[in-house]
Chain A
């Protein structure tokens, strides 16, 4: 497939905007690379606050990816395999965070789970305070990343179709067995690529996090927040940390690519 012959020649002119677009993506990264202080690179990224931020980011992104899988897989199954009145509306609402400014998401979360929020007040009575905690970071990341998993998995489920599942059920497999032994293995590549996208989106989350979780070192200050703050005081550290984030993102995508999932 990778070496499939081109069937129809492309119009020559498309190469020009294609090249400009590619440059537009690559050039800023290259520009950033030229500004990296290589001599003191490890010093810059190994300060306490930087290490805290990196570890927090990895921890919270892993947790939110886990939550995305736990909730996103059932959501995608319901959207792909059932039909009910208002399904289109439900799908649009679920995918809303994709197009919503993250800051708005953060505000929405705050008015839900914040101390004076819709549920926050009841939680407060129970002695649970969500806002401005690491839990809030994970929730903010899950909020923005969930649609990525749902969209890619729903697509995979629709592509796989229901025929194998129908055969499995006539062979005597209960719905849970069908899901475990047929559906899941069939859409595993789609699930992995959805999880990778969710992880990447969580890793880069900024707006909803700073609104809903604040910026407390070691508790809610993830790497993107750390970079933003460092930029004010120590531009070299910000650039070095940015490079770390780029490397992490490239590694994640590379791993997924190696498994042939995206």
Chain B
């Protein structure tokens, strides 16, 4: 029971195939305009391809036809594929609860049943308290939680997520990401993103798309650790500290403790990994006083220009800072410095 897509859209120079196993989350990474969203529109049935076919759980979603195959087209509502977009797109005239109940109602459930299902899903995404609010009275993060509940309540066999965190405040994105990680567990889903953290935390496998073609395909950690395509190389390079859970953080092999946020119940001593972006790291000559941040003593090994920023590398971690900061702090290979990162920027998960 799997999902397969192989399609071309001439007008957009799009020609790619993908495959999702049951219970697998596939991340589609790529720069803007690379054809990521085109793929989702094709799967959802909102766009007709020029050639190709797609099957979900052995059922043909579309088939343009060819030798020995007759053309097939299943309309969006009959595909069992729910789409979660960048913006919540909650129906403005319905309350949060009615929005979530929309899918079950459309599938023929009674009003009472649908509401029951909707309440369950609102609880699942920690949004029960907003059930009676209209979308206009919700913040972006709350709205996106409810949109997730609405998509899941439709009981899709394949869930499509189109950059679900892109329109969110940086302050609320981590919590929504953790929630998604929880609800996507054991679900078949395709998530389009340009954020490597989404891929790392949510996806089992990654395809990197550029100019409408797949340029890389493999298990998430493998692709991110050893990127072969230019795009993957640019966005990868996340900091990962592996170790065991200690309090609210991960104790690495060298004894340093990195505290962060997690949604999983974990026991002390569990194997865990703390993940944070180089751009979340601040560099200091002296440990910053009175700050709730994680601090790590490191020695610079390399300075590498990366677009408008400089990537400061140390044996295990890296930080992205401006050229001005490099000059002010007088950074050079061999300089001992302190890396600092806020706990709210660190995601901790079981490894």
Q: What 1/0 mask marks residues of chain A from 169 to 213 whose CB sits below 8 Å from any chain B CB? A: 111111101100110011000000000000000000000000000
A164 in contact with B79 (CB, 8 Å) = no
A169 in contact with B77 (CB, 8 Å) = yes
Q: Tell me if A33 counts as interface (CB < 8 A to partner B).
A: no
Q: In the bound complex, what is the Cα–Cα distance between A166 and B79 (angstroms)?
A: 13
Q: In the bound complex, what is the Cα–Cα distance between A163 and B147 (angstroms)?
A: 14
Q: What 1/0 mask marks residues of chain B from 90 to 121 whose CB sits below 8 Å from any chain A CB? A: 01110000000011001100000000000000
Nearest CB of A to B39, in Å: 14
B77 in contact with A173 (CB, 8 Å) = yes
Q: In the bound complex, what is the Cα–Cα distance between A53 and B116 (angstroms)?
A: 56
Nearest CB of B to A169, in Å: 4
Residues on the B chain within 8 Å of A182, using CB? 91
From B76, B89, B151, give the contact of A169 (CB < 8 A): B76
A166 in contact with B93 (CB, 8 Å) = no
Residue of A nearest to B147 (CB): A167
A170 in contact with B83 (CB, 8 Å) = yes
Q: Tell me if B25 counts as interface (CB < 8 A to partner A).
A: no
Also in contact, A172 and B107, with CB within 8 A (given A166-B46, A167-B85, A181-B102): yes
Interface majority SS (helix, strand, loop, mixed), chain A: helix
B106 in contact with A185 (CB, 8 Å) = no
Q: Tell me if B82 counts as interface (CB < 8 A to partner A).
A: yes
Q: What 1/0 mask marks residues of chain A from 142 to 169 whose CB sits below 8 Å from any chain B CB? A: 0000000000000000000001101111
B85 in contact with A171 (CB, 8 Å) = no
Also in contact, A163 and B89, with CB within 8 A (given A171-B103, A172-B103): yes
We find that the number of chain A residues with CB closer than 8 angstroms to chain B is 18
Q: In the bound complex, what is the Cα–Cα distance between A185 and B102 (angstroms)?
A: 14
A185 in contact with B93 (CB, 8 Å) = yes
B106 in contact with A171 (CB, 8 Å) = yes
A172 in contact with B106 (CB, 8 Å) = yes
A171 in contact with B92 (CB, 8 Å) = no
Q: In the bound complex, what is the Cα–Cα distance between A175 and B76 (angstroms)?
A: 10
Q: In the bound complex, what is the Cα–Cα distance between A116 and B118 (angstroms)?
A: 62
Most buried by A among B45, B46, B151: B46
From A170, A175, A177, A181, give the contact of B81 (CB < 8 A): A170
A172 in contact with B77 (CB, 8 Å) = yes
Most buried by A among B44, B102, B103: B102
Q: In the bound complex, what is the Cα–Cα distance between A182 and B106 (angstroms)?
A: 12
Residues on the A chain within 8 Å of B77, using CB? 169-175, 177-178
Q: Tell me if B293 counts as interface (CB < 8 A to partner A).
A: no
Q: Tell me if B75 counts as interface (CB < 8 A to partner A).
A: yes
Q: In the bound complex, what is the Cα–Cα distance between A172 and B81 (angstroms)?
A: 8
Q: What 1/0 mask marks residues of chain A from 118 to 156 whose CB sits below 8 Å from any chain B CB? A: 000000000000000000000000000000000000000
Residue of A nearest to B104 (CB): A172
Residues on the B chain within 8 Å of A186, using CB? 91-93
Residue of B nearest to A182 (CB): B91
B151 in contact with A171 (CB, 8 Å) = yes
Residues on the A chain within 8 Å of B79, using CB? 170
Nearest CB of A to B162, in Å: 11
Residues on the A chain within 8 Å of B150, using CB? 171
Also in contact, A166 and B106, with CB within 8 A (given A171-B154, A172-B154): no
Q: What 1/0 mask marks residues of chain A from 36 to 75 whose CB sits below 8 Å from any chain B CB? A: 0000000000000000000000000000000000000000
Residues on the A chain within 8 Å of B82, using CB? 170-172
Residues on the A chain within 8 Å of B78, using CB? 172
A168 in contact with B46 (CB, 8 Å) = no
A166 in contact with B91 (CB, 8 Å) = no
Residue of A nearest to B151 (CB): A171
Also in contact, A168 and B102, with CB within 8 A (given A175-B77, A185-B93): yes
Q: In the bound complex, what is the Cα–Cα distance between A173 and B150 (angstroms)?
A: 13
Residue of A nearest to B77 (CB): A169
Q: In the bound complex, what is the Cα–Cα distance between A46 and B78 (angstroms)?
A: 61
Residues on the A chain within 8 Å of B75, using CB? 169, 175
B76 in contact with A170 (CB, 8 Å) = yes
Residues on the A chain within 8 Å of B44, using CB? 166, 170
B 29-81 contacts with A by CB, 8 A: 44-46, 75-81
- Nearest first, the 10 closest Cβ-Cβ pairs linking A and B are A173-B106, A169-B76, A171-B103, A170-B83, A172-B106, A185-B93, A171-B154, A169-B77, A172-B107, A167-B89
**A–B complex contacts, Cβ < 8 Å, 18 sampled:** A166-B44, A166-B46, A167-B89, A168-B102, A169-B46, A169-B75, A170-B44, A170-B77, A170-B79, A170-B82, A170-B156, A171-B82, A172-B107, A173-B102, A174-B77, A174-B106, A175-B75, A181-B91
Known: A169-B75, A171-B103, A185-B93. 13 other contacts (CB 8 A): A164-B89, A166-B83, A168-B102, A169-B76, A170-B45, A170-B81, A170-B83, A170-B154, A171-B102, A177-B77, A178-B77, A186-B91, A186-B93
Interface residues of A (CB under 8 A from B): 163-164, 166-175, 177-178, 181-182, 185-186
Interface residues of B (CB under 8 A from A): 44-46, 75-83, 85, 89, 91-93, 102-103, 106-107, 150-151, 154, 156, 160
